[in-house]
């Protein structure tokens, strides 16, 4: 198998599953080349429903070139409300055209009448009794164009190899499968350190976590940002919290929020550094720990690949989840799990072939139960290498996690077309799966150089 690029290996992705040369090319030459629309699974009442019973206004926003967190902050500022009153189901790419739901707590439709935000169209959907939460969507549908491909003719060969890897049945000629890795965006596309912060959080090294997020420079960042982080690191060594704050440019808003909290509380002990981490939005606090879980998951999948274990069917000791269909999309349901014993391997394999079940691996947390046999051996070895165990995730506030399991394979019907100026892809993925993980197999370009 082809080895992955260094920036991919840094987040636990060790290899490709296809051997064919990639098509090359450029992703997101312009925002309109990467379109994503949520496959929604969230019911709303009419907009004129009783705001006492349904205090959350639900809107659908089409965004061009917006980071989800940045848009939520801009929208809350325009409405004059706290950022914490804005919720959504999934974070989307900045360099894209995205359509997704947001919920706004204690906001009336009339409040939106004077709100104008550049490169954003916001439409009212209705009201809800609760705010949107991560995972409320079923999935995402993608339309993506890859420009300036060097070998567009290789797309069909790669698709055939992915169909074989994914165990696509004969009556699904366009189905492909890839390992359900967490993509670079989970860890930071330019600066993949979010999992490093999370690993320190899980070990309750609160100071190390703040330092990693604020002051650790990464080679793919702009030189000005790297220099600012180096100055912040020097001030950090001197325990000069005002110096840390002064070194950070205003565009590094979350880093400055942490540094400002250290200025306010003195930065004298672990509780002060934990408070600094809590200065950022709650969803980012959760993301730190989620990224640590995701890194361990990627490592487990990479080791499964290295050992030649199948992804499209189970072996003894695996844990599978069953699936459901939502608007034509097959969605793994990790609340319905089953251990695969020796006498059940073939029966469960047939369910997997038909898309009714998926092999899983752990997103480790306090309630995680690991597999048996060789899959369980892989899981335990990776966690031992990372010095992690389920009890480590018994943490305060947003940092705690009970864990879950996640499918190791994502299968989708994929349409690919070679046009004069682009190779276009159309497919849908269940929530939490990454389009870039599908595209990396086709393009095989270095993420650090894109």
pLDDT tens by residue, 164-221? 999 977 767 789 999 999 999 899 877 899 999 999 999 999 999 999 999 999 888 8
Beta bridge partners of 62: 99, 121
Phi, psi of 189 (to 5 degrees): -65, -45
- Least Cα distance to 206 among 320, 112, 289 occurs for 289
Please, what are the domains in the chain?
Answer: 6-33+139-180+411-449 (3.30.2350.20), 42-128 (3.30.70.3160), 194-280 (1.10.1510.30), 284-407 (3.30.2350.20)
pLDDT tier at 93 (50, 70, 90 boundaries)? confident
Helix 435-443 × helix 155-165 angle, to 10°: 130
Region 12-16: mean pLDDT is: 97
* Distance of alpha carbon 11 from alpha carbon 9, whole angstroms: 5
pLDDT tier at 418 (50, 70, 90 boundaries)? very high
Tens-digit pLDDT profile for residues 268-321: 999 999 999 999 988 899 999 999 999 999 999 999 999 999 999 999 999 999
Region 27-40: mean pLDDT is: 94
Tens-digit pLDDT profile for residues 233-277: 999 999 999 999 999 999 999 999 999 999 999 999 999 999 999
244 CB contacts (<8 Å, ≥6 apart)?
214, 215, 232, 235, 236, 259, 262
pLDDT tier at 421 (50, 70, 90 boundaries)? confident
CA 238 remoteness from chain centre: 35
Active-site residue among 33, 93, 136, 312? 93
**Residues 218 and 193: beta-carbon distance below 8 Å:** yes
R_g over Cα of the chain: 22
Query: What pLDDT shows up at residue 277?
Result: 97
Query: What pLDDT shows up at residue 450?
Result: 63
Report the chain's mean pLDDT, rounded to a whole number.
94
Beta bridge partners of 319: 339, 360
Pairing of strands 409-413, 415-418: unpaired
Residue 335 is among the residues annotated as catalytic for this protein:
no
Beta bridge partners of 128: 56
Token look-up 């994502």 returns 410
Region 367-381: mean pLDDT is: 97
Threshold 0.85, pTM exceeds: yes
E strand or H helix at 336, and its extent? strand 329-339
* Distance of alpha carbon 155 from alpha carbon 105, whole angstroms: 46
Dihedral sign, Cα of residue 249, residue 250, residue 251, residue 254 = positive
Structure tokens at 315: 């072996």
Query: What pLDDT shows up at residue 132?
Result: 95
């Amino acid at each position: 198998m082809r080895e992955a690029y260094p920036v991919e290996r840094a987040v636990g992705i060790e290899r490709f599953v296809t051997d064919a040369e990639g098509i090359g090319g450029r992703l997101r030459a312009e925002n309109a080349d990467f379109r994503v629309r949520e496959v929604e699974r969230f019911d709303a009442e009419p907009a004129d429903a009783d705001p006492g019973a349904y205090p959350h206004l639900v809107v659908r926003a089409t965004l061009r070139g917006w980071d989800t967190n940045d848009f939520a902050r801009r929208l809350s500022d325009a409405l004059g409300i706290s950022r914490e009153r804005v919720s959504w189901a999934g974070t989307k790419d900045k360099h894209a055209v995205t359509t997704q739901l947001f919920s706004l707590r204690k906001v009336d439709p009339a409040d939106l009448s004077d709100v104008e935000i550049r490169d954003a169209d916001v439409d009212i959907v209705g009201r809800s009794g609760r705010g949107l939460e991560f995972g409320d969507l079923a999935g995402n549908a993608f339309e993506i164009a890859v420009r300036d491909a060097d070998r567009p003719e290789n797309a069909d060969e790669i698709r055939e190899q992915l169909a074989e890897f994914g165990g696509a049945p004969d009556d699904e000629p366009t189905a492909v499968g890839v390992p359900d890795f967490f993509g670079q965006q989970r860890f930071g596309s330019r600066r993949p350190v979010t999992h490093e912060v999370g690993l320190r959080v899980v070990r309750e090294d609160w100071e190390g976590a703040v330092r990693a997020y604020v002051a650790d420079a990464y080679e793919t960042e702009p030189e000005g940002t790297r220099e600012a982080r180096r100055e912040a690191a020097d001030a950090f060594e001197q325990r000069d919290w005002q110096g840390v704050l002064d070194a950070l440019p205003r565009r590094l808003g979350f880093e400055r929020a942490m540094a400002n909290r250290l200025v306010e509380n003195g930065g004298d002990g672990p509780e002060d550094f934990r408070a600094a981490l809590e200065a950022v939005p709650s969803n980012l606090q959760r993301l730190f720990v989620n990224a640590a879980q995701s890194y361990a998951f990627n490592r487990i999948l990479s080791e499964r690949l290295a050992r030649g274990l199948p992804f499209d069917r189970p072996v003894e000791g695996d844990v599978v989840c069953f699936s459901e269909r939502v608007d034509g999309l097959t969605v793994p349901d990790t609340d319905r799990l089953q251990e695969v014993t020796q006498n059940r391997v073939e029966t469960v394999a047939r369910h997997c072939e038909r898309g009714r079940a998926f092999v899983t691996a752990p997103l480790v947390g306090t309630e995680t139960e690991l597999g048996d046999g060789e899959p369980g051996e892989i899981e335990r070895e990776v966690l031992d290498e990372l010095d992690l165990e389920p009890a480590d995730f018994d943490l305060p506030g947003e940092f705690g996690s009970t864990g879950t399991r996640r499918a190791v394979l994502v299968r989708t019907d994929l349409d690919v077309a070679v046009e004069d100026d682009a190779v276009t892809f159309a497919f849908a993925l269940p929530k939490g799966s990454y389009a870039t993980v599908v595209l990396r197999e086709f393009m095989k370009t270095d993420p650090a150089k894109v």
